[in-house]
């Protein structure tokens, strides 16, 4: 049945969510506090490189509304909350965006509505922040307001993970809440017994990745010490068709999920007096990789009779992973900051960055296939193997005085 749906937060998760619900025939309003994103969307321009402008234009033609006006999310049938859940410098969860989204909804939610939190967060959040708040406002959850948690699993840039195709976990505060959520998302969802189980399942998925990437990082150090190619070891192990999953070493995991979500768990467990040493060590290994790769880079320069300092360096690719324009917590950006602190002149190129990001991220250039300009640099650090760079890699190497490949070390 066609519903009036409001998606709160129009980022990497929220915008694809708008697309899915519009495709399912619902009347969707996308709300974001960032007026610049809303204006771009209303001009038919996507601020996310994994969503095409044509898709946004199609949404507008279909009647989707993009707005920063709180009044336009009044009395919807369904609210989907897709706001950020970052950590602060001390790796403490920052729930202020969820809090702000809920405060904004107060007084706007009609009886009978369904609210689904999709943001990743620690077990207990949905009950603490949504159920308790709306109960205190006089709603009876499960009778006249339905609250569910359904973690988003999208992997931007990964075409296998496009919204509706990914299996979805759903939990409701009550049986009725779950039934409402299942009716909305479709019967193919996997229901779990309570909100906390769904919240923990999502964090466990991402913690699993952190721990395994840390193991691959450690393999890199072991292989280097034994003068073995870590990449070849990983590819060889990955030929085993069962019981092994391929993860690769990393300069430092970036993005909004893997370097963030596990700390929601360690923070909660720390508060409850439970130790989580494996997760903490994995986080420390991840944090150690930048120094490790810097040291390897210095060794590479020494082999070429050069010192890292006083160099003119080009960095190619600055996003946290290939083919997406997201620079959040990108290890490459931290690497560039470290190089600059050493007095090195660093010029960054990234042709995947979107116009929106180029305005936000300072002084990033596009190569625009003009590989010749790389000759001006003493060293080219190939940091992110975007497909468009991989396709021209031999040209990039040819035009580099010295070429250091971070995508294969």
Give the catalytic positions in this structure: 257
From CA 349, how far away is CA 392, in angstroms rounded?
Answer: 15
Of residues 162 and 233, the one with the C-beta less far from ligand NAD: 162
DSSP state for residue 109 in the 8-state scheme: P
Residue keyed to tokens 């075409």: 159
Question: Does the footprint of ligand NAD cover residue 49 (CB under 6 A)?
Answer: no
Of residues 83 and 314, the one with the C-beta less far from ligand NAD: 83
Q: C-beta of 2: minimal distance to ligand NAD in Å? A: 24
The residue count for binding ligand NAD (CB under 6 A) is 29
Alpha carbon 364 to chain centroid distance?
21
Which one among 5, 6, 8, 353 touches ligand NAD, defined by CB under 6 A? Answer: 8
Question: Does the footprint of ligand NAD cover residue 163 (CB under 6 A)?
Answer: no
> Are the CB atoms for 19 and 59 separated by under 8 Å?
yes
Site string for ligand NAD, 84-103 (x = CB under 6 A): xx-----------x--xx--
Name residues whose C-beta falls within 8 Å of residue 146's C-beta, 6 or more positions apart in sequence. Answer: 112, 113, 114, 115, 172, 173, 174, 176, 177, 180, 181
DSSP state for residue 93 in the 8-state scheme: B
Question: Does the footprint of ligand NAD cover residue 37 (CB under 6 A)?
Answer: yes
Instruction: From residue 394, give the alpha-carbon distance in Å to each of 261, 286, 352, 389, 404.
Output: 37, 30, 19, 9, 13
Report the SS3 class of residue 237.
helix
- Tokens matching residue 114: 């369904």
Segment near ligand NAD (CB under 6 A); pick from 78-86, 221-229, 296-304, 366-374: 78-86
Three-point CA angle 320, 207, 217, nearest 5°:
60
Q: C-beta of 5: minimal distance to ligand NAD in Å? A: 14
Question: Does the footprint of ligand NAD cover residue 324 (CB under 6 A)?
Answer: no
In the sheet that 169-172 helps form, which strands lie side by side, from edge to edge? 65-67, 27-31, 4-8, 78-81, 113-117, 145-149, 169-172, 190-191
Q: C-beta of 91: minimal distance to ligand NAD in Å? A: 14
Site string for ligand NAD, 191-230 (x = CB under 6 A): ----------------------------------------
Residues 227-266 that bind ligand NAD (CB under 6 A): 256-257
Question: Does the footprint of ligand NAD cover residue 28 (CB under 6 A)?
Answer: no
Segment near ligand NAD (CB under 6 A); pick from 38-46, 82-90, 296-304, 313-321: 82-90
From CA 260, how far away is CA 138, in angstroms rounded?
Answer: 34
Which one among 13, 38, 95, 333 touches ligand NAD, defined by CB under 6 A? Answer: 13
List residues binding ligand NAD (CB under 6 A). Answer: 8-14, 31-34, 37, 82-85, 97, 100-101, 104, 119-120, 152-156, 256-257
């Amino acid at each position: 049945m066609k519903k009036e749906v409001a998606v709160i937060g129009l980022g990497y998760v929220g915008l694809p969510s708008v697309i899915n619900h519009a495709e399912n025939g619902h009347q969707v309003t996308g709300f974001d506090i960032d007026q610049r994103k809303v204006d771009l969307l209303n001009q038919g321009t996507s601020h996310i490189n994994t969503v095409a402008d044509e898709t946004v234009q199609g949404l507008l033609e279909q009647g989707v509304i993009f707005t920063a006006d709180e009044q336009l999310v009044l009395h919807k049938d369904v609210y989907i909350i897709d706001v950020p859940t970052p950590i602060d410098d001390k790796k403490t969860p920052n729930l202020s965006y969820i809090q702000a989204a809920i405060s904004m909804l107060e007084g706007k939610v009609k009886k009978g509505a369904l609210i689904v939190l999709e943001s990743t967060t620690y077990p207990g959040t949905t009950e603490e922040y949504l159920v308790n708040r709306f109960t205190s406002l006089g709603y009876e959850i499960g009778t006249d307001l339905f609250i569910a948690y359904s973690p988003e699993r999208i992997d931007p840039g990964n075409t296998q993970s496009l919204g509706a195709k990914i299996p979805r976990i759903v939990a409701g505060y009550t049986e009725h809440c779950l039934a409402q959520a299942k009716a909305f998302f479709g019967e193919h969802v996997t229901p779990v017994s309570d909100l906390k189980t769904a919240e923990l399942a999502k964090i466990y998925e991402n913690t699993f990745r952190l721990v395994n990437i840390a193991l691959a990082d450690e393999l890199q150090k072991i292989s280097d010490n034994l003068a073995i190619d870590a990449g070849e070891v990983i590819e060889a192990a990955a030929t085993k068709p069962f019981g092994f999953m391929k993860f690769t070493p990393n300069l430092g995991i970036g993005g909004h999920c893997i370097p963030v979500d596990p700390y929601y768990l360690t923070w909660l467990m720390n508060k409850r007096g439970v130790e989580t040493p494996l997760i903490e060590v994995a986080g420390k290994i991840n944090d150690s990789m930048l120094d490790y790769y810097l040291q390897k880079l210095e060794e590479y320069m020494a082999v070429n009779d050069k010192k890292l300092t006083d160099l003119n360096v080009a960095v190619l690719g600055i996003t946290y992973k290939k083919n997406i324009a997201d620079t959040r917590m990108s290890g490459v950006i931290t690497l560039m900051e470290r190089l600059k602190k050493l007095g090195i002149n660093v010029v960054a190129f990234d042709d995947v960055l979107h116009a929106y990001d180029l305005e936000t991220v300072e002084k990033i250039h596009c190569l625009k296939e003009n590989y010749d300009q790389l000759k001006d640099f003493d060293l080219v650090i190939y940091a992110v193997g975007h497909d468009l760079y991989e396709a021209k890699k031999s040209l990039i190497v040819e035009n580099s005085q010295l070429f250091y490949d971070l995508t294969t070390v």
